Structure 1
């Protein structure tokens, strides 16, 4: 649909609402996965009581849950850049949490925005480069996702809007900017959803040992279930990617 003038707020919201309904109608299998991950978030967060020294970690966990909801809602509304930007924010929180869980005293540096939190990603990349111990095994993979999402979805970099531009033919050819980003087909749309879900499984996994072994808000079976869900999502994603060339899937690696 091409408009020769900017849409207004009512039309914009109406189109968002329409896309959410389409997502609910066509994505029943994905909704089951979303609800499963929601349940895994809810288990440790419901009526949680922790020591004051652990409060920052729980705050970071809650922050990631907010972005889990916002990212998936953005995807359902066909705001792909915003969905990946939200996932990137959750990765930021997980990387911070990894360091604080590893060294609880470092939360003072986090609150004061001092080393290593002033340049945490650079700090992690230096550790990876020097083959030094990391606070969590998923840090390298989360850094990789963080960088990929940053180039695609953050700021006004060319990569953040080039996928929105289309050339419209006719007697007077013109360039159109898409306010909504529609997948090329159902497989690509689902790959986007699964990529977001797998990202949030990894984000939640950063907190898993803390939640199970330290504050004991959930049993060990919860961690096993989280890992099982992550494996299932990864297998589904791999199967779908076989249907589409990797370079043809926007925003994924």
Structure 2
């Protein structure tokens, strides 16, 4: 049923119920007035009987309503707090299917809204993939000096980086031996020093540019690219 049909049906039910209650109230008022008038005009002693009957009816109605309220609150208090009537045996079939459909929809929306590790990027870190852990760009950049040292040492033991030698001096030494292009070395040192001394974390695009320069530098040394 469409939304407009449900609204019309609800208005119809409310109108019928209101008319029924109004008609019932009018009948009760007329009947009470008729009884009262007959008792008042014919035998005033009947007024006591009429008044006692009305009072007794009111007391009985009060206790009936009070007992229903108490029984309702007791029944609600007996329901466990964690209980949610979502099983098919707890609800009418249309209500059960509506609840089940909405719960499935909410669950699917929550799953789709949850960010995946491979789509979330933290500044200075690479995205997590299904087969590897995230890479911290700064550490990865600084570790490339050891790889360069290993490749240069394979060419000649004299090219091994001595303890205390700065990275810039070591790269300049390789440039002086014509093993590394000066332009490639300059770009490498700029990106390396930015990652080491810069205040901001290395971004993913900067790390990608650094890898390109590092690959060219290894190619000059004869290492795998």
Instruction: Bin the TM-score by the shorter chain.
Output: under 0.3
- Structure showing greater relative contact order (alpha-carbon pairs closer than 8 Å, 6 or more residues apart): 1
Q: TM-score, normalised by structure 1?
A: 0.19
Higher Cα Rg: structure 1 or 2? 2
Q: TM-score, normalised by structure 2?
A: 0.21
